[in-house]
Amino acid sequence: MQLLVQKFGGSSLQTSKKRLHVMNHIKEALEEHDKIIVVVSAIGKHPSPYATDSLLKLVNYPITHAADRELDLLLACGEIISAVVLSNELKQKGINAIALTGAQAGITTNDYHTNAKIKYVDPSQIMDTLQSHDVIVVAGFQGETDKGEVTTIGRGGSDTTAAALGAAVKAVRADIFTDVPGIMTADPRIVEHAQILKNCTYTETCNLAYQGAKVIHPHAVEIAMQAKLPLHVRATEQKTQGTFISAKYPENKKVKEVSRPITGIAHLTGISQVKISRKDNPSYSMSEIFKTIAAAGISIDFINISPHQVIFTLPETVVNRAKGLLQNLDIKAEISEHCAKVSAVGMGMSGIPGVAARIVTALAKKGIQILQAADSHTTIWVLIHEKDLRQAVNALHDVFELSKGNRVLS
């Protein structure tokens, strides 16, 4: 049995007119595959009544008396409503469909309510149901614990659901439908000539997603990579090819790859940099600083340690709490707020000299100060002032000629 997984986001399901596009995709897929598993998000975005944020407002979130367990009971309703609505409309069109909750689809999670992790997927009920139905519509973003408690798996959870189900049933592919045409070389709201990436590796996609590209959740890509499940990110309402994600390029096609080391530029905003020098704090303990911050539930990033100083970044939303913790430790820190992290991602940079030099030169020509930098085999990160973000992303996009097309298949 050849199975395909399709995932549709809330904006694709917001109206009956938009759901017609969804149903057309499902019909087309049934012409090529035996059975389809469709994963859905909650319908629409706030103020749509069944969107996740709208449901949260029913209990005055974030100032709420509802426990996380109860929030999960509430939030799971959004995707369940979406699954029932779509399966009903598919049956009206003569398609043999059925709706399942995440638990009924065999998704078991840990007990971290509102941000659970999938422990395993038992596909037996899905496989049994597919004997009598052509399409199963699964409520994404949810599962249940071993004790039968309803859980939700955090933002981007429907992407993760689709990847996990695709891996469990050994699907030929998972199609991730969104309101954008695919993964792009940069945010098109910042770079006018950003291009759609026709192909991307799992590693590149994961790095782009973690560094700010919000088209697909990075955990979904990690699951797909482990299972060797190909992904296809494409627009629901546009006839674009989208982006194919896999470990390597299709073996039956010749790749004409423009010679460049960088695949795309991603960015994150709302960052603060903390710099603690040995000169101002002769007796500070790095381990005590990090343990204190971790105990407060604050996640830090972009860490540079030297004998003379320690530098790290954290979200601006927690910077005031961090200041208080450091004051309690009698630590004098230099804090720069309103920063942005810009990342150049590409498998082609590994072993290629001069990539960092091109980044530094491009930014220097624009008078952009680099506050911090780090690199890996596939990513180079720079921290800059947020006011320079647009200029920096465009400068790097230009210097690596990303507007000239990328990885064209023939």
The CATH topology of domain 264-409 is VC0802-like (3.30.2130)
Cis peptide leading into 250, omega within 30 of 0?
Answer: no
- The strand pair at 35-40 and 135-139 is best described as parallel
The predicted model gives 98-104 an average pLDDT of 98
The predicted model gives 69-94 an average pLDDT of 97
User: For the stretch 370-391, what's the b/e string if a residue is b when 16 or more beta carbons lie within 10 angstroms of its beta carbon?
Assistant: bbbeeeeebbbbbbbbbebbee
Nearest to 206 by CA among 347, 107, 374, 340: 347
The predicted model gives 13-40 an average pLDDT of 96
Is the pLDDT confidence value at 24 over 50? yes
User: For the stretch 324-348, what's the b/e string if a residue is b when 16 or more beta carbons lie within 10 angstroms of its beta carbon?
Assistant: ebbeebebebeebeebbbbbbbbbb
How does residue 345 score in pLDDT terms, banded at 50, 70 and 90? very high
The predicted model gives 305-327 an average pLDDT of 94
Per-residue DSSP letter, 196: B
Is the pLDDT confidence value at 313 over 90? yes
Are the CB atoms for 163 and 141 separated by under 8 Å? no
CATH 3.30.2130.10 boundaries in the chain:
264-409
pLDDT at 192: 93
DSSP states of 199-227: EEEHHHHHHHHHTT--SS-HHHHHHHHHH
CATH 3.40.1160.10 boundaries in the chain:
3-179
How does residue 409 score in pLDDT terms, banded at 50, 70 and 90? very low
How does residue 93 score in pLDDT terms, banded at 50, 70 and 90? very high
Q: What does pTM read for this prediction?
A: 0.89
CATH class of 3-179: alpha beta
Is the pLDDT confidence value at 252 over 70? no
Are the CB atoms for 377 and 370 separated by under 8 Å? no
Encoding tokens for residue 136? Answer: 């199963």
The predicted model gives 157-184 an average pLDDT of 96
Residues 363 and 225: their CA atoms lie apart, in Å, by 34
The predicted model gives 330-343 an average pLDDT of 96
pLDDT at 283: 87
CA separation, residue 217 to residues 38, 98, 162, 211, 214 (Å) = 17, 26, 11, 11, 7
Is the pLDDT confidence value at 261 over 60? yes
How does residue 256 score in pLDDT terms, banded at 50, 70 and 90? very low
Which of 23-37, 90-104, 134-148, 294-308 is the least confident region? 294-308
Largest Cα separation within the chain, whole Å, is: 75
- The strand pair at 142-144 and 150-152 is best described as antiparallel
**What percentage of the chain exceeds 90 in pLDDT?**
86
pLDDT at 284: 85
Residues 404 and 355: their CA atoms lie apart, in Å, by 18
How does residue 405 score in pLDDT terms, banded at 50, 70 and 90? low
Encoding tokens for residue 219? Answer: 């955990």
Residues 288/342/225/133 CA torsion (nearest 10 deg): 110
pLDDT at 250: 52
Rounded mean pLDDT of the chain? 93
Q: Please name the helix (run of DSSP H) or strand (run of DSSP E) that holds residue 17, with its range, or none.
A: helix 16-32
Residues 401/347/174/2 CA torsion (nearest 10 deg): 120
pLDDT at 255: 45
Residues 368 and 384: their CA atoms lie apart, in Å, by 7
Nearest to 196 by CA among 242, 161, 229, 153: 242
How does residue 53 score in pLDDT terms, banded at 50, 70 and 90? very high
3-state secondary structure of 297: coil
Reported as a single tens digit per residue, the pLDDT across 203-228 is 999 999 999 888 999 999 999 999 99
Encoding tokens for residue 40? Answer: 């859905």
Query: CA triplet 12, 13, 14: central angle to 5 degrees?
Result: 100
Residues 200 and 378: their CA atoms lie apart, in Å, by 13
